[in-house]
Structure 1
Amino acid sequence: MQSLFAAIHPFHLQRSFAMTPLRQRMLEDMGIRNLAENTQLSYLQQVSLYAGHFHRSPEELGPEEVRAYQVHLTKARKLAPSSVSIATSALRFLYKVTLKREWAPDDIPMPKKPFKLPVVLSPEEVSHFLACVDSLKQRTILTTAYAAGLRVSEVTHLKVTDIDSQRMMLRISQGKGNRDRYVMLSPRLLEALRSYWKVVRPDAWLFPGDIPGQPISRNAVALACQRAHRAAGIAKPVTPHSLRHAFATHLLETGTDVRRIQLLLGHRSLATTSRYLKIATSTVCATTSPLDLLPEVAPLPSEPTASPVF
Structure 2
Amino acid sequence: MGNLNKSTLLVNYEEQLMIKRYSYNTIKTYKSCFKEFIDFYPKKNLNQMKNSDIQRFMIHLIRRKNIARSTQNQYINAIKFYFEKVLNRPKETYQWHRPRAVKKLPHVFSEQEVMLIIKSIKNLKHRCIILTIYSAGLRLSEVLNLRISDIHSKENCIFIRDAKGNKDRYTLLSEKLLLTLREYYINYKPSFWLFEGANAGRYSKSSVQAIFKRALVKAKIGKNGTIHTLRHSFATHLLERGVNLRYIQTLLGHNSIKTTEIYTHISKQNLKKIASPLDFLII
What is the TM-score of this pair, normalised by structure 1?
Answer: 0.84
Deviation by residue 1:218-277 (Cα, 9 ceiling, x = unmatched): 111111111112222211122211111100000001100000001111111111111111
Q: Is the counterpart of residue 120 in structure 1 residue 93 in structure 2?
A: no
- Listed as ranges, the gaps of 5+ residues in structure 1 are 6-17, 298-310
Rounded to whole Å, the distance in 1 between the matches of 2:147 and 2:272 is 40
Amino acid at match of 2:171: V
The yes-or-no answer on 1:28 pairing with 2:12 is no
Q: Which runs of 5+ in 2 are unaligned?
A: none
Pair 1:197-2:190 in alignment:
no
For the pair 1:214 / 2:201, whether they are aligned, the reply is yes
C-alpha contact (below 8 Å) 2:23/2:162 kept by paired residues = no
* Higher gyration radius (CA): 1
Match of 1:242 among 206, 229, 251: 229
Q: Which residue of 1 aligns with 2:249?
A: 262
Provide the rounded CA distance (Å) in 2 between the counterparts of 1:275 and 1:127. 23
Q: 1:201 to 1:24 in 2, by over 3 A?
A: closer
Task: Find the aligned partners of 1:102 and 1:266 in 2 and give their Cα distance.
Answer: 31
Alignment partner of 1:180: what SS? strand
1:108 aligns with 2:115: no
Which amino acid letter does the alignment assign opposite residue 118 of structure 1? P
- Structure 1's 102 and 170: CA in aligned 2 closer, same or farther, altered over 3 A? closer
Letter in 1 for 2:47: E
Query: Percent identity among equivalent residues?
Result: 34
Separation in 2, partners of 1:162, 1:66? 43
Question: Is residue 143 of structure 1 aligned with residue 131 of structure 2?
Answer: yes
56-65 or 188-197: bigger deviation: 56-65
| Deviation for aligned residue 1:103 | 7.6
| Residue identity in the other structure for 2:24 | E
Residues 36-88 of structure 1: per-residue CA shift (max 9 Å, x gap)? 12111211111111111122343342211110111111122211111111111
* Native 8 Å contact 1:73 1:79 kept in 2: yes
1:1-310 mapped onto 2 (5 Å cutoff): 4-5=5-6, 18=7, 20=8, 22-56=9-43, 57-101=45-89, 104-210=92-198, 212-294=199-281, 296-297=282-283
SS at match of 1:172: strand
Match of residue 306 from structure 1: none
User: Alpha carbons of 1:103 and 1:195: their partners in 2 closer, same or farther (altered >3 Å)?
Assistant: closer
Report the secondary structure of 2:192's partner residue: coil
In structure 1, how many angstroms separate the alpha carbons of the residues matched to 2:5 and 2:244?
50
Q: Which has the higher contact order (CA 8 A, sep 6+)?
A: 2
CA distance in structure 2 between the partners assigned to 1:103 and 1:62 by the alignment:
15
CA separation of 1:4 and 1:262: change in aligned 2, threshold 3 A: farther
Measured against aligned partners, the alpha-carbon deviations of 1:77-132 in whole angstroms (never above 9, x if no partner) come to 21111111111111111123222446852423321121111110000100101112
Report the residue type matching 1:268 in the other structure: N
Asked whether the 8 Å contact 2:171–2:251 carries over to 1, the reply is yes
TM-score of the two chains, using structure 2 as the length reference: 0.92
CA contact (8 A) 1:4 1:51 kept: no
What secondary structure does 2:237 align onto? helix
CA contact (8 A) 1:173 1:180 kept: yes
Cα gap change, 1:172 to 1:29, in 2 (>3 Å): same
Distance of 1:64 and 1:41 partners within structure 2: 26
Query: In 2, are the aligned partners of 1:146 and 1:244 still within 8 Å (CA)?
Result: yes
Indicate the structure with greater helix content.
2
Assess, with a 3 A threshold, how the Cα gap between structure 1 residues 87 and 285 changes in structure 2: closer, same or farther: farther
- Measured against aligned partners, the alpha-carbon deviations of 1:191-235 in whole angstroms (never above 9, x if no partner) come to 11111112111121111111x242111111111111112222211
CA distance in 1, matches of 2:122, 2:36: 39
Secondary structure, aligned partner of 1:287 = coil
Contact 2:10 2:35 in 1 (8 A): no
Compared CA separation, residues 98 and 288, structure 1 to 2 (3 A): same
On the 8 A contact 2:132/2:143 being kept in 1, the answer is yes
Q: Aligned-residue CA RMSD in angstroms?
A: 1.9
Deviations 1:271-302 (A, max 9, x none): 111111110111035411233234x25xxxxx
Is the CA contact (8 Å cut-off) linking 2:51 and 2:94 kept in structure 1? no
